[in-house]
Amino acid sequence: MILSTILAQAATAAADSLAITPESMQAAVASLSSLTIAEVVEYVTNAALSLGSKLIQIIVIWFVGRWLSKRLISMIKSMMLKKKTDASIQTFLVSFIDIVALIVLITIIISVIGIDTSSFIALFASAGVAIGMALSGTLQNFAGGVMVLLFRPYKVGDYIEAQGQAGTVKEIQIFNTLLQTPDNRVIIVPNGPLSTGIINNYSRESKRRVDFTFSISYGDDFELAQSVLLEIIGKDERILKDPAPFIQLSSMAASSIDITVRVWCNAADYWGIYFDMNKAVYKTFPAKGLNFPYNTITVNMKKNN
């Protein structure tokens, strides 16, 4: 109901600006009927020339305006690069300036056509209220983008996990954040939920802890396994000495002795250490006489006399 009222008011404002009424149409028809053929031809020719001139003006203004807006964006990008502005702010501002420039260009074209822009401003304002009510979620995403830039829970280049998705932040736009997954997919996540939800930022800290659980069979020497693990860790220069590695017997499971291993590294080395450590343990344990356990079931059979 509110939307229909606003649109009706907007349509009335547009009609008033164009000054198209039945009386004006009748007057135009009457004036044309009194003209001679030569005058009609001259009138049509002048009208066509005027229309063609305006059409050329509109085309020129559109292409020049878009060229200028791109040049402006390019200049702003260069300025931000010189000042080493954060990439997150760069992508957000570029997206915002492009939309504003497009709105200004359309307003200029409407003015060139000869339509009263003040009435269209009222039209846009009325339509804006209706659109704002219909697109409250989009406005929330815009506000979310502003909050992300202010509080910076993540930035371009960070690897994050949020809203059930994970990836490297590629762009922070006005309404959305673009995540690039390790398998080269791009996921578009709205900024609204990101600004209010839980975000797991794996790149925020420079160091990360890598956790492992290795199992040996019952009867194997735990101290031997501990020394073998320390030897493997000592050969990997990516593993930090401070904090010191942690190796302890964590549990005695049904079929195995479980050993918890925790080492620290630079965030960029996390996955390399994770995979290389598993590979080294799989190769070294059997060579040192340590056995990997399998699930076993012990069955006791009682013989009836």
Residue 118: phi, psi to the nearest 5? -65, -40
pLDDT band at 18 (very low <50, low <70, confident <90, very high): very low
Distance CA 110, CA 206 (A): 53
Least confident of 94-98, 219-223, 289-293: 94-98
Tell me: pLDDT of 134 over 60.
Answer: no
CA distance readout (Å), 304 to 60, 236, 300: 104, 59, 13
pLDDT band at 211 (very low <50, low <70, confident <90, very high): very high
Among 40-49, 192-201, 232-241, name the most confident range.
232-241
Distance CA 170, CA 180 (A): 6
Distance CA 221, CA 203 (A): 38
Kindly write down the DSSP assignment for every residue of 129-191, as one continuous string: HHHHHHTHHHHHHHHHHHHHHHH-S--TT-EEEETTEEEEEEEE-SSEEEEE-TTS-EEEEEH
Identify which of 96, 97, 94, 75 has the alpha carbon closest to the alpha carbon of residue 86.
94
Q: Which strands form 186-190's sheet, in the order they lie side by side? A: 186-190, 176-180, 165-172, 159-162, 199-201
202 SS3 class: coil
Q: What is the CATH T-level fold of the domain 207-287, as seen in this structure?
A: Alpha-Beta Plaits (3.30.70)
| Per-residue burial over 10-41, b = 16 or more CB atoms within 10 Å of its CB, e = otherwise | beebbeebeeeeeeeeeeeeeeeeeeeeeeee
280 SS3 class: helix
Segment 112-131 mean pLDDT: 62
8-state DSSP, 204: S
Distance CA 256, CA 242 (A): 30
Number of helices (H) and strands (E), helices first, in the chain? 9, 8
Beta-bridge partners for 208:
265
CA distance readout (Å), 194 to 16, 150, 156, 198, 241: 44, 13, 14, 7, 36
8-state DSSP, 57: H
Distance CA 231, CA 226 (A): 9
Query: What pLDDT shows up at residue 35?
Result: 61
pLDDT band at 262 (very low <50, low <70, confident <90, very high): very high
Please tell us whether the domain made up of 141-201 is placed in CATH 3.40.50.1110. Answer: no
Domain ranges of the chain: 2-134, 141-201, 207-287
Tell me: pLDDT of 161 over 80.
Answer: yes
Residue 152: phi, psi to the nearest 5? 50, 55
- Show the beta-strand stretches assigned E in 53-115: none
Residue 263: phi, psi to the nearest 5? -130, 155
pLDDT band at 60 (very low <50, low <70, confident <90, very high): confident
